[in-house]
Amino acid sequence: MQHWYSKSLGDGMWADIPSEEIRQLFQPLFESAGRPAEMAVFTRHEEGSLHCEWVAYFSPAAAEIAIVVEAVPSEKPIREELTLLAGNDECWTILFEGT
Protein backbone atom coordinates (compact mmCIF):
# COMPACT_ATOMS: atom_id res chain seq x y z
CA MET A 1 0.00 0.00 0.00
CA GLN A 2 1.31 3.41 -0.93
CA HIS A 3 0.92 6.19 1.60
CA TRP A 4 -0.13 9.76 1.28
CA TYR A 5 1.94 12.25 3.26
CA SER A 6 1.07 15.48 5.02
CA LYS A 7 2.99 18.44 6.38
CA SER A 8 1.87 21.50 8.30
CA LEU A 9 2.77 24.71 6.50
CA GLY A 10 1.88 26.91 9.46
CA ASP A 11 -0.66 29.67 9.61
CA GLY A 12 -1.79 31.70 6.62
CA MET A 13 0.70 34.50 7.16
CA TRP A 14 3.68 32.19 6.68
CA ALA A 15 2.35 29.31 4.56
CA ASP A 16 3.43 30.90 1.27
CA ILE A 17 7.13 30.39 2.05
CA PRO A 18 7.05 26.59 2.53
CA SER A 19 4.48 26.31 -0.28
CA GLU A 20 6.89 27.94 -2.71
CA GLU A 21 9.73 25.72 -1.51
CA ILE A 22 7.57 22.66 -2.19
CA ARG A 23 6.74 23.93 -5.71
CA GLN A 24 10.42 24.47 -6.46
CA LEU A 25 11.31 20.96 -5.30
CA PHE A 26 8.33 19.40 -7.05
CA GLN A 27 8.59 20.90 -10.54
CA PRO A 28 11.91 19.41 -11.74
CA LEU A 29 11.01 15.95 -10.42
CA PHE A 30 7.54 16.22 -11.96
CA GLU A 31 9.01 17.19 -15.34
CA SER A 32 11.67 14.46 -15.28
CA ALA A 33 8.99 11.86 -14.42
CA GLY A 34 7.00 12.85 -17.53
CA ARG A 35 4.36 14.96 -15.72
CA PRO A 36 2.36 12.01 -14.33
CA ALA A 37 -1.23 12.83 -13.38
CA GLU A 38 -0.95 10.85 -10.15
CA MET A 39 1.92 13.03 -8.88
CA ALA A 40 0.49 16.04 -7.05
CA VAL A 41 0.58 18.16 -3.93
CA PHE A 42 -2.55 19.75 -2.47
CA THR A 43 -3.17 22.22 0.32
CA ARG A 44 -6.08 22.90 2.62
CA HIS A 45 -6.79 25.35 5.42
CA GLU A 46 -7.63 23.31 8.49
CA GLU A 47 -8.62 24.13 12.02
CA GLY A 48 -6.30 22.72 14.64
CA SER A 49 -6.79 22.50 18.37
CA LEU A 50 -5.19 25.91 19.03
CA HIS A 51 -5.20 27.72 15.70
CA CYS A 52 -5.86 27.35 11.98
CA GLU A 53 -3.10 26.12 9.74
CA TRP A 54 -2.40 25.23 6.13
CA VAL A 55 -1.57 21.59 5.49
CA ALA A 56 0.10 20.15 2.38
CA TYR A 57 -0.92 16.67 1.20
CA PHE A 58 1.43 14.71 -1.05
CA SER A 59 0.07 11.94 -3.26
CA PRO A 60 1.92 8.60 -3.10
CA ALA A 61 3.68 9.43 -6.40
CA ALA A 62 5.07 12.60 -4.75
CA ALA A 63 6.57 10.65 -1.84
CA GLU A 64 10.15 11.60 -2.77
CA ILE A 65 9.35 15.29 -2.28
CA ALA A 66 7.34 14.56 0.87
CA ILE A 67 10.29 12.80 2.44
CA VAL A 68 12.66 15.67 1.57
CA VAL A 69 10.39 18.19 3.34
CA GLU A 70 9.90 15.84 6.29
CA ALA A 71 6.21 15.20 5.72
CA VAL A 72 4.72 12.29 7.61
CA PRO A 73 2.61 9.36 6.35
CA SER A 74 -1.09 10.14 6.56
CA GLU A 75 -4.48 9.04 5.37
CA LYS A 76 -5.67 10.10 1.94
CA PRO A 77 -7.35 13.49 2.40
CA ILE A 78 -10.96 14.04 1.47
CA ARG A 79 -11.29 16.14 -1.66
CA GLU A 80 -13.44 18.84 -0.06
CA GLU A 81 -11.72 22.25 -0.02
CA LEU A 82 -8.39 20.96 -1.33
CA THR A 83 -6.41 23.26 -3.62
CA LEU A 84 -3.87 21.98 -6.12
CA LEU A 85 -0.45 23.33 -5.17
CA ALA A 86 1.64 21.40 -7.70
CA GLY A 87 0.82 18.95 -10.47
CA ASN A 88 -1.66 19.07 -13.33
CA ASP A 89 -5.44 19.24 -13.41
CA GLU A 90 -5.76 15.60 -14.53
CA CYS A 91 -4.79 14.58 -10.98
CA TRP A 92 -8.29 15.23 -9.66
CA THR A 93 -9.81 12.45 -11.76
CA ILE A 94 -6.96 10.02 -11.16
CA LEU A 95 -6.59 10.55 -7.41
CA PHE A 96 -10.17 11.31 -6.33
CA GLU A 97 -12.42 9.55 -8.82
CA GLY A 98 -15.54 8.42 -7.05
CA THR A 99 -14.98 10.59 -3.99
| This prediction's pTM | 0.90
* Per-residue pLDDT, 41: 97
- In the chain, what are the helix, strand and coil shares in percent, each to the nearest 5? 30, 30, 40
Run means of pLDDT, 10 residues per run, the chain, 99 residues: 87 82 96 96 80 90 95 95 95 85
Torsion of CA 3, 47, 22, 27, to 10 degrees: 70
Query: Strand runs (DSSP E) across 1-99, as ranges?
Result: 4-10, 41-47, 52-58, 72-74, 83-86
The pLDDT of residue 51: 65
What is the C-alpha to C-alpha distance for residues 9 and 48, in angstroms, rounded to an integer?
12
Q: How many CB atoms lie within 10 A of CB 29?
A: 15
Q: Give the dihedral of Cα atoms 33, 99, 2, 60; nearest 10 deg.
A: 30
